[in-house]
Chains A and B, each alone.
Chain A
Amino acid sequence: MKNDRGDIELAGVCKSFDGATNVVDGVNLKIADGAYCCFIGPSGCGKTTILRMIAGHEDPTAGEIVIGGQNVVGLAPVQRRTAMMFQSYALFPHLTVRENIAFALRVRGQSKADRLRAADAMIEKVRLSQFADRLPAQLSGGQQQRVALARAAITEPRVLLLDEPLSALDEQLRVQMRQELRRMQQELGITFIHVTHTQLEAIALADLVVVMEQGKIKQAGAARDVYARPHDRYVAEFMGGQNVLSGRVEKVNGASFTLAQAAPSGIEVPLQARANVSVGDKVDIAVRRDDVALVRPGRDLPPGCTTSLPSRVLAIEYQGYFVKVMLDTVPDDEFVAYVPEKTFFADPFTVGDVVMATWANGSALPLA
Chain B
Amino acid sequence: MQPSPSQNLSPSRSNLAGWLYVSPLVLVLVPFFVAPILVVLAASFFATDGFGGLTPGFTLVSYVEVLHSALTLKLYLATIKFTVLTWVFTLVIGFFVAYFLVFHVRNQLLAIGLFLLCTVPFWTSNIIRMISWIPLLGKEGLINQALLGIGVIRQPLEVLLFSDLAVVIAYVHQLTIFMIVPIFNSMARIDKKLIEAAIDAGASRFDIMRLIVVPMSKSGIALGTIFVVSIVMGDFFVVKVMSGGGSASVVSAFYEDVGVLQYPTAAASAVLLTLVLVAIVSLILRTVDIRQEITR
Contacts and interface: CB of A to CB of B under 8 A. Distances in A.
Interface of A: 55-57, 76-78, 82-84, 86-88, 90-94, 103-104, 106-108, 137, 151-152, 155
Contact of B211 (A57, A103, A155): A103
B214 to A, nearest CB: 10
Given A107-B203, A155-B202, A90 B197 contact: yes
B199 A77 contact: yes
Which of B200, B215, B296 has the most C-beta atoms of chain A within 10 angstroms of its own C-beta? B200
B216 interface: yes
A52 to B, nearest CB: 9
Given A103-B211, A107-B211, A90 B194 contact: yes
16 contacts: A57-B199, A76-B199, A83-B200, A86-B196, A90-B191, A92-B198, A93-B194, A93-B216, A103-B211, A106-B211, A107-B198, A107-B201, A107-B204, A107-B211, A137-B296, A155-B201
A106 B215 CA distance: 16
Interface string B174-203: 000000000000000001011011111111
B272 interface: no
Contacts of A107: 198, 201-204, 207, 211
B212 interface: yes
Interface in B199-240: 199-204, 207, 211-212, 215-216
Q: Return the 9 tightest CB-CB contacts between A and B, nearest first.
A: A104-B201, A78-B202, A90-B193, A90-B197, A107-B203, A107-B207, A77-B200, A84-B200, A94-B215
A17 to B, nearest CB: 12
A77 B204 CA distance: 12
Which of B197, B198, B211, B216 has the most C-beta atoms of chain A within 10 angstroms of its own C-beta? B197
A92 B210 CA distance: 13
A86 B197 contact: yes
Contacts of A137: 296
Nearest to A56: B200
A76 B215 CA distance: 25
B200 A57 contact: yes
A107 B197 CA distance: 12
A304 B191 CA distance: 60
Interface of B: 191, 193-194, 196-204, 207, 211-212, 215-216, 296
Contacts of B207: 107
A56 B202 CA distance: 11
A92 B198 CA distance: 9
A92 B202 contact: no
A67 to B, nearest CB: 15
Contacts of A78: 201-202
Given A94-B215, A103-B211, A55 B200 contact: yes
Contacts of B200: 55-57, 77, 82-84, 152
B201 A103 contact: yes
Contacts of B201: 78, 83, 103-104, 107, 151, 155
B196 A90 contact: yes
Which of A76, A92, A137 has the most C-beta atoms of chain B within 10 angstroms of its own C-beta? A92
Contacts of B296: 93, 137
B220 to A, nearest CB: 13
Nearest to B195: A90
A87 B204 CA distance: 22
A84 B204 CA distance: 17
Given A103-B211, A106-B211, A107-B211, A92 B203 contact: no
A77 B197 contact: no
A83 B196 CA distance: 11
B107 to A, nearest CB: 15
A317 to B, nearest CB: 34
A108 B202 contact: yes
Contacts of B197: 84, 86, 90-92, 151
A354 B103 CA distance: 65
A169 to B, nearest CB: 18
Nearest to A99: B211
B17 to A, nearest CB: 30
A92 B204 contact: no
B216 A103 contact: no
Nearest to B215: A94
Nearest to B190: A93
Contacts of A93: 194, 216, 296
A84 to B, nearest CB: 5
Nearest to A104: B201
A308 B104 CA distance: 65
